[in-house]
């Protein structure tokens, strides 16, 4: 079974629309970390956020916000007032304590049209 599921393969929105990228994870550990990365067309993965399993507070950073819900094993990412520069592939990832690897989702490609 996949540890991290990003069911949305591709999303297209028009600039200024809000968009939410879904991430569902699976783990039996009580201590784990969740991440979001952005991969623009240039290819380099850019780190966006890291959250630990004990901190369920939602986080906002400018137009970006993250909703962490342990009850549904979800860590969703919302972009408010999307811009063309937000066009990229976004990856969600899980890291478990004691396991030296990240489990990446398959990514969601976001197309923001002007």
Partner 1 sequence: SQTIHQWPATLVQPVGSPLSLECTVEGTSNPNLYWYRQAAGRGLQLLFYSVGIGQISSEVPQNLSASRPQDRQFILSSKKLLLSDSGFYLCAWSVGTNTDTQYFGPGTRLTVL
Site residues (vs partner 1, CB under 8 A): 31-33, 35, 37, 42-47, 50, 91, 95-102, 104-107
Minimal distance, residue 35 CB to partner 1, in Å:
7
Element (H, E) at 39: strand 32-39
The DSSP call for residue 27 is: -
Q: Are 91 and 5 in contact (CB under 8 A)?
A: no
- In the complex with partner 1, which residue's Cβ is closer, 45 or 80? 45
Q: Looking up tokens 């780190």, which residue turns up?
A: 47
Instruction: List, in order, residues 6 or more apart from 80 with CB less than 8 Å away.
Output: 18, 63, 64, 65
Minimal distance, residue 106 CB to partner 1, in Å:
4
Minimal distance, residue 29 CB to partner 1, in Å:
10
Determine the Cα–Cα distance for residues 34 and 11; give it in Å rounded to an integer. Answer: 22
- In the complex with partner 1, which residue's Cβ is closer, 43 or 114? 43
Minimal distance, residue 86 CB to partner 1, in Å:
19
Q: Tell me whether strands 108-113 and 10-14 are parallel, antiparallel or unpaired.
A: parallel
- In the complex with partner 1, which residue's Cβ is closer, 13 or 48? 48
- In the complex with partner 1, which residue's Cβ is closer, 16 or 101? 101
């Amino acid at each position: 079974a996949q540890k991290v599921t990003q069911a949305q393969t591709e999303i297209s929105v028009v600039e200024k629309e809000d968009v939410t990228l879904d991430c569902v994870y699976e783990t039996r550990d009580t201590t784990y970390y969740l991440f979001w990365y952005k991969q623009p067309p240039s290819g380099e993965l850019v780190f966006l956020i890291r959250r630990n399993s004990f901190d369920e507070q939602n986080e906002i950073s400018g137009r970006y916000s993250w909703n962490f819900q342990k009850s549904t094993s979800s860590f969703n990412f919302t972009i408010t007032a999307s811009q063309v520069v937000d066009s990229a592939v976004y990856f969600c990832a899980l890291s478990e304590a004691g396991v030296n690897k990240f489990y990446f989702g398959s990514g969601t490609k976001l197309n923001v049209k002007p």
